Amino acid sequence: MTGNPNYIPPIPVMQIRPGCLLCYDQRVYIPPRKESTIPIDPLAESTPKFYTGKMNEKAKSKLRFSINLLVEQAKWKEILNPATGKFYKFKINFITLTLSAKQREVSDRTIKNLMLAPWIRNMRDVYKLRSYVWRAERQKNGNIHFHFSTDTYIPYDAIRDAWNFQQAKFHFIDEFRNRNNSEFPNSTDVHSVQSVANLASYMVKYMCKDEKGLESIEGKVWDCSSNLKTSERVAMVMGEADFRLINKLYEKFENRVKKTDNCTIIPISKNEMLQYLPRSYIEMYNKWIQSVYDAAPISRIKRVKSL
C-alpha cells in the first residue's frame, strides 16, 4: 500500500461494445489541490494528433469501433425498387467513389475537402444522410479513392451524378470525355448489403487492410459522422458476479480472447450477449445504441473541418 494520499487503487471495469466486451483496470488520479478525479481511458490518445497517411494500429482500432457502431445502430427499412416495383429490406450500403481520370497534380487534401466533403453535404441535404464511415485508399494507378458506408438509402444514380458533378470541378469528367467520347463515367460502385450476419467483420477487414508498397494518403485516411465519435460507453465497475461471468466467457471463448498491455477483449456476438449478459446490462446497452442513432446529424454541415 503506497503512502501517497492521492493514490487510489485501480478499479476493474467492464465495457459492453458492439461485437465485444472490454475489461480493464481504470486508474484514477487525484491532482494536488483539486477535489475532482480524472479517470484514465485505457484506449485514449496519449500523444497529439497528427496524420501519417497510413493506418496504424490505433487508427485501425478506432475505425473498427466506428464500423461496428455504424452497423449496430442501423435499422432495417423497406425500400421500393422502381425497376421491379417490389420492396426489399435495406440496412447498410457499401459505396466506392473513384476518379475517372488521372489525379495529376490535384492533391489528396483538395479532393477530400473540395470533392468528398461537398458530396457528403449534398447527400445530407437532399437524402438526409445519417450515420456514415469513409476510408481513403490509394489505388495502384496512384489515384485516391474512397470507400463509404452508411445506413441511409440513396439511389445509385444520385450517388453517381453527385460524385461526377464534384469531379467536373477539377476536369476529371473533361478528361474522361476526351478519352472515351462520353460524359457519363461509371465512377461509383454501390452495394446494398442485405446479409449483415458478418457485415461488420467484413467491412473492418476490407477498410483496415494494409497498403504495403502504395504511396501514403495526404491528411486523414478515414472519418465518420459525429454520432459515431461518441465518447460515451456502457461501462460498469465489476463486482463478484461480473468476474464469474468473465471467467465463464473466457473459458467458453478462449480462442477468441485478445489481450493487450491495457485491457482484455472478448469478441462476442449480439445473440451471445443476449444469452449470457444480465438483462439490466442489455437494457443499458440498447439505450446507448438508440442514443447513438438519435444523435446522427441530418442537417446541413455549416463548417467542414480539414480532411
Q: How confident is the model at residue 27 (pLDDT cuts 50, 70, 90)?
A: confident
Question: What percent of the chain lies above the pLDDT cut of 90?
Answer: 60
For residue 20, the model assigns a pLDDT of 93
Between 32-41, 145-154, 244-253, the lowest mean confidence (pLDDT) is in 32-41
For residue 38, the model assigns a pLDDT of 47
Residues 78 and 222 in one domain: yes
For residue 54, the model assigns a pLDDT of 72
Residues 150 and 212 in one domain: yes
Indicate whether 284 belongs to any domain.
yes
Beta strands in the chain (DSSP E): 11-17, 20-26, 28-29, 38-39, 77-81, 86-90, 92-97, 132-138, 144-150, 188-193, 222-224, 234-237, 258-259, 263-267
Domain count, the chain: 2
Question: What percent of the chain lies above the pLDDT cut of 70?
Answer: 83
Higher-pLDDT residue of 254, 47: 254
Residues 129 and 278 in one domain: no
Of 229, 249, 269, which residue is a domain's last? 229
Of 179, 196, 229, which residue is a domain's last? 229
Indicate whether 283 belongs to any domain.
yes
> Is 235 a residue whose pLDDT tops 90?
yes
Of 210, 229, 248, which residue is a domain's last? 229
Q: How confident is the model at residue 123 (pLDDT cuts 50, 70, 90)?
A: very high
Indicate whether 88 belongs to any domain.
yes
Residues 209 and 77 in one domain: yes
Helices (H) and strands (E) in the chain, counts: 9, 14
Instruction: Report the alpha-carbon angle 17-21-23, nearest 5.
Output: 120
Q: Using only C-alpha atoms, what is the Rg of the chain?
A: 22
Residues 209 and 262 in one domain: no
For residue 101, the model assigns a pLDDT of 95
Q: What is the pLDDT of residues 271-295, one digit of tens each?
A: 999 999 999 999 999 999 999 999 9
Instruction: Tell me what the mean pLDDT of segment 253-263 comes to.
Output: 91
Residues 209 and 91 in one domain: yes
Between 33-37, 79-83, 167-171, the lowest mean confidence (pLDDT) is in 33-37
Domain boundaries, position 277: 11-48+233-294
Residues 140 and 202 in one domain: yes
Least Cα distance to 196 among 302, 306, 92 occurs for 92
Indicate whether 113 belongs to any domain.
yes
Indicate whether 150 belongs to any domain.
yes
Residues 208 and 183 in one domain: yes
Higher-pLDDT residue of 305, 13: 13
Indicate whether 208 belongs to any domain.
yes
For residue 144, the model assigns a pLDDT of 96
Instruction: Tell me what the mean pLDDT of segment 92-96 comes to.
Output: 91
Residues 121 and 269 in one domain: no
Residues 162 and 179 in one domain: yes
> Is 302 a residue whose pLDDT tops 60?
no
Indicate whether 304 belongs to any domain.
no
Residues 225 and 237 in one domain: no
Least Cα distance to 154 among 187, 126, 135 occurs for 126
Residues 256 and 152 in one domain: no
Indicate whether 306 belongs to any domain.
no
